[in-house]
């Protein structure tokens, strides 16, 4: 875990997390994740742990020429300041050339300055169709 990410406000950490994701910086990505993070990707079985998330990310990224998260808005939950909602468009560049842009909403819970619960709400099937 990165001590730098522990000191960043959540909004800045969210932006940095997606910037690291877009750059393919797995060490950077996992520095914002709690070691025992639980990640829910749509209707798939939950992924347990930062290492498992990095492994899955590597597999998905290996099937793409690139990706970019366009953050549209970030809100904190009124009833729980540790929960943040991120609305975005994710642009996936397929290896065969076309870019597929999809709406996405992520819900992130922070514990001790790191993401401990990471929920992705989107349908990625058009990327691989």
Q: What are phi and psi of 65, to 5 degrees?
A: -85, -20
Q: State residue 3's pLDDT score.
A: 46
Q: Are 102 and 123 in contact (CB under 8 A)?
A: yes
What is the Cα–Cα distance from 31 to 120, expressed in whole angstroms? 19
Residue for token pair 């953050």: 71
Question: For residue 70, how far is the Cα from the chain centroid?
Answer: 12
Please determine, for residue 12, whether its predicted confidence score (pLDDT) is greater than 60. Answer: yes
Residue for token pair 């300055």: 113
Using pLDDT thresholds of 50, 70 and 90, give the confidence band for residue 1: very low
Q: Classify 112 as helix, strand or coil.
A: coil
pTM for the whole structure: 0.89
Q: State residue 43's pLDDT score.
A: 86
Instruction: Give the start-to-end residue ranges of the domains of the chain.
Output: 3-128
Q: Are 60 and 32 in contact (CB under 8 A)?
A: no
Q: What is the pLDDT of residues 80-102, one digit of tens each?
A: 999 999 999 999 999 999 999 99
Architecture of domain 3-128: Roll (3.10)
CA 21, 23, 26: angle at the middle one, nearest 5?
A: 55
Q: State residue 50's pLDDT score.
A: 95
């Amino acid at each position: 875990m990165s001590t730098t990410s522990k000191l960043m406000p959540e909004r800045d950490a969210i932006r940095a997390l997606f910037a690291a994701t877009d750059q393919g910086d797995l060490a950077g990505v996992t520095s914002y994740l709690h070691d025992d993070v639980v990640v829910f990707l749509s209707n798939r079985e939950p992924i347990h742990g930062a290492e498992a998330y990095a492994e899955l990310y590597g597999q998905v990224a290996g099937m793409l020429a690139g990706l970019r998260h366009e953050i549209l808005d970030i809100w904190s939950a009124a009833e729980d300041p540790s929960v943040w909602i991120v609305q975005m468009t994710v642009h996936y560049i397929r290896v065969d050339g076309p870019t597929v842009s999809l709406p996405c909403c992520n819900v992130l819970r922070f514990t001790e300055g790191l993401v401990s619960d990471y929920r992705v709400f989107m349908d990625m099937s058009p990327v691989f169709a």
